Structure 1
Amino acid sequence: MMPLLEIENLSVNYGAIQAVRGLSLTVEEGEVVTLIGANGAGKTTTLRAVSRLLRPVSGSVRFAGRDITRVPADEAVKLGIAQSPEGRQVLARQSVQDNLELGAYTRSGPAVKTDVYEMYERFPRLGERRNQLAGTLSGGEQQMLAIARALMSRPRLLLLDEPSLGLAPIIVREIFSIIRDLNAQGVTILLVEQNARLAMNASHRTYVLEAGQMTFNGNSAELVNDERVLHAYLGG
């Protein structure tokens, strides 16, 4: 069966700096796949290339069998790709409700309002704060809002960039419980996360990036006990 996402020989530059070099990976429908690596390894760059916020120098990105390497970012959203960015990036001076409605900017009709209330059921704290300015929410609540806003486009593929960043351990556990629930409900997820052990325990497969290149990949349950991963990323 054709992968939902297929990246082949991808290279991405920031000016004269080559951030990703010759990267290839796949994500199957229904999977959680995680990218781990040190800061600067190219993880966020990879997500931004998939969501079309960055244009690759070479290589290709295919989604549901279609080459999307050159499509605009808004077209990628319409096709079914949504990203919850690093640092959450909620619209601080807009309400929770406004943020959610803006997440559905490619859609129209009464189903949008239905989906907003579905998000309130999925994330009850957001429902309690629907009229509150997003910038006044706690870090954990902002992360929930960032994920919910991405879900408002009804994505087939959800890109999550550092969802645990800056959050207290108890909130991190809650966020990862949400990730598992979303996947159990059929959402395919490509996850970038600094907490390698947590990410691998929540995913089916893992790709390891070093200095913009893929070093190895495999089943997460096996790699979490791999000596290379233990010493490089898990403190073993």
Structure 2
Amino acid sequence: MALLEVEALCVNYGAVSAVRDVSLSVEQGEIVTLIGANGAGKTSILRAISKLVAPRSGVVRFDGRDVTALPPEALVRLGMAHSPEGRQVLAKQSVGDNLELGAYVRKDRAEIAKDMARMYELFPRLSERRNQSAGTLSGGEQQMLAIARALMSRPRLLLLDEPSLGLAPLLVSEIFEIIAGLGAMGTTILLVEQNARLAMRAAARTYVVESGGIVLEGPSAELAADERVTKAYLG
């Protein structure tokens, strides 16, 4: 059974249909990516899964349970975390405070402290800046903080939206090394990423999104060799 199953998901913004009849799945321990042009509906799919927007119709199952009607905080308690597009760190709060916020559903203070230490090991730059206001960090450092904050809830599934957005190439490579490392440790990730080449290299499977719907899906290595994907997304 897949850890995440989405069936016939539809999202509207007023009269505009942003997501149309999307079905996908993510297995435990798998990295899966959604690729597509800007405005294709990728971010809306993630936001509907985590209930940051209410789907018009469709079903979301997490670990076999229908969670379609649950609010975002309930999904976090069940083990789903969302690192959003644009990072959205608390600019006036310290790096450490942002990380603690990621563990707000937890009560195990000793384990939270261990996870804070683990985040500082995974992201050494955050350790150097733990008392610094998050708004003073570089874009790459804020992205690292957004990912680390999401991981503080000990998620079984990480929804990761546009982690390379606006970053210099060197930092993009660093972020994707981190994603690969998380995957190697068994973290299950559903990734939305504009850089299709890097995304497909990181993910075992790929869904191609166009005009709010999925038009192609399959193993990333196979789709990377597909002429339609090559022409449209890989250059």
* Residues 51-101 of structure 1 deviation map (CA, whole Å, 9 limit, x = unaligned): 111111111000000001110100000001101110111100000000000
Q: Which runs of 5+ in 1 are unaligned?
A: none
Q: Which amino acid aligns with 1:65?
A: G
Matches within 5 A, 1:64-83: 64-83=63-82
Q: What's 1:41 paired with?
A: 40
Work out the CA distance in 1 between the residues paired with 2:13 and 2:114. Answer: 40
Q: What's 1:114 paired with?
A: 114
Q: Give the RMSD, CA atoms, in angstroms.
A: 0.7
Q: What's 1:222 paired with?
A: 222
Work out the CA distance in 1 between the residues paired with 2:57 and 2:190. Answer: 21
Q: Which amino acid aligns with 1:165?
A: L
Deviation at 1:109, TM superposition (A): 2.6
Q: Which amino acid aligns with 1:133?
A: S
Q: What's 1:187 paired with?
A: 187
Choose 106-115 or 10-19, whichever is displaced more: 106-115
Q: Which amino acid aligns with 2:42?
A: K
Q: Which amino acid aligns with 1:22?
A: D
Deviation at 1:120, TM superposition (A): 0.7
Moved over 3 A (4+): none
Q: What's 1:151 paired with?
A: 151
TM-score normalised according to structure 1 size: 0.98
Work out the CA distance in 1 between the residues paired with 2:40 and 2:60. Answer: 19
Work out the CA distance in 1 between the residues paired with 2:75 and 2:144. Answer: 22
Matches within 5 A, 1:120-135: 120-135=120-135
Work out the CA distance in 2 between the residues paired with 1:198 and 1:144. Answer: 17
Q: What's 1:208 paired with?
A: 208
Q: What's 1:161 paired with?
A: 161
Percent of aligned pairs sharing the same letter:
70
TM-score normalised according to structure 2 size: 0.98
Q: Which amino acid aligns with 2:152?
A: M
Kept in 2: contact 1:5–1:26 (CA 8 A): yes
Q: Which runs of 5+ in 2 are unaligned?
A: none
Work out the CA distance in 1 between the residues paired with 2:148 and 2:212. Answer: 30
* Residues 21-60 of structure 1 deviation map (CA, whole Å, 9 limit, x = unaligned): 0000000011100000111111000001111111111110
Work out the CA distance in 1 between the residues paired with 2:10 and 2:103. Answer: 30
Work out the CA distance in 1 between the residues paired with 2:216 and 2:48. Answer: 20
Work out the CA distance in 1 between the residues paired with 2:195 and 2:53. Answer: 25
Deviation at 1:122, TM superposition (A): 1.1
Deviation at 1:118, TM superposition (A): 1.1
Q: What's 1:16 paired with?
A: 15
The alignment partner of 1:101 has SS state of: helix
Q: Which amino acid aligns with 1:19?
A: A
* Residues 131-189 of structure 1 deviation map (CA, whole Å, 9 limit, x = unaligned): 00000001111110000000000000001100000111111001000000001101000
The alignment partner of 1:76 has SS state of: helix
Query: How many matched pairs?
Result: 234
Kept in 2: contact 1:55–1:69 (CA 8 A): no
